Amino acid sequence: RKEVEQDPGPFNVPEGATVAFNCTYSNSASQSFFWYRQDCRKEPKLLMSVYSSGNEDGRFTAQLNRASQYISLLIRDSKLSDSATYLCVVNMADSNYQLIWGAGTKLIIKP
Amino acid sequence: NAGVTQTPKFQVLKTGQSMTLQCAQDMNHEYMSWYRQDPGMGLRLIHYSVGAGITDQGEVPNGYNVSRSTTEDFPLRLLSAAPSQTSVYFCASSYSSTGQTQYFGPGTRLLVL
């Protein structure tokens, strides 16, 4: 089983819709969680960290469920510019704090 | 600030050739790392450094060497290229631990024939 798993998609979503996707992690010792965004043929960039109580940044909401070992990302009022691959990243305390990356979920927003 | 820079952007090698991928950052970050990204897989850590003079192996270090003689530079050397090393390589840096925001370079696309 992969340490960090994501649905590869693609998720095809009309502009203005709400979309959500999850990421599951296998190691209960994981301490930090992040969502990165990667545009086609570009480098990953931090979208947001995920805090235990959940957090929001504009149209984006991230949630952490430690009991079920998953994090989620919700995008409201989706824009064409939200089309990208969203990478889930987990910091494993028992792996010398190395980051473990999911393979990403591809999101396509259609006009 | 230029951030994290990588050269070259693209490279084609023949099996057995060696080369060095350059990475530099001007943010005075202590932590630097090299990843490879392959289709359908997450970024995989090759080598990392927590400061000048200190390097360590990541998940997939075989076939690669690194050095960190200065805070700014972290080159990755392919000793004898193999087709399995065809990939996109990203260099990243952060202020300190891996728990902080990683800043990535634009990547190097490498094809080994």
pLDDT tens digits along B16-25: 999 999 999 9
Task: List pLDDT tens digits, range A14-72.
Answer: 999 999 999 999 988 888 899 999 999 999 999 999 988 999 999 999 999 999 999 99
Task: List pLDDT tens digits, range B3-45.
Answer: 999 999 999 999 999 999 999 999 999 999 999 999 988 899 9
pLDDT at A85: 97
Q: Are A71 and A78 in contact (CB under 8 A)?
A: no
A91 touches chain B (CB under 8 A): yes
CB contacts, 8 Å: A2 with chain B: 42
The tokens for B108 are 């190097």
Which percentage of chain B shows pLDDT scores above 90?
Answer: 88
| B40 contacts A99? CB cut-off 8 A | no
What's the CA gap between A30 and A94, in Å, rounded? 8
What's the CA gap between A86 and A44, in Å, rounded? 9
pLDDT at B40: 86
The tokens for B86 are 């065809």
| A101 contacts B43? CB cut-off 8 A | yes
- Mutation for testing the B interface, residue in A35, A86, A99 having most B CBs under 10 Å: A99
A32 touches chain B (CB under 8 A): yes
Number of H helices, E strands in chain B: 0, 11
Torsion of CA A58, A64, A70, A75, to 10 degrees: -10
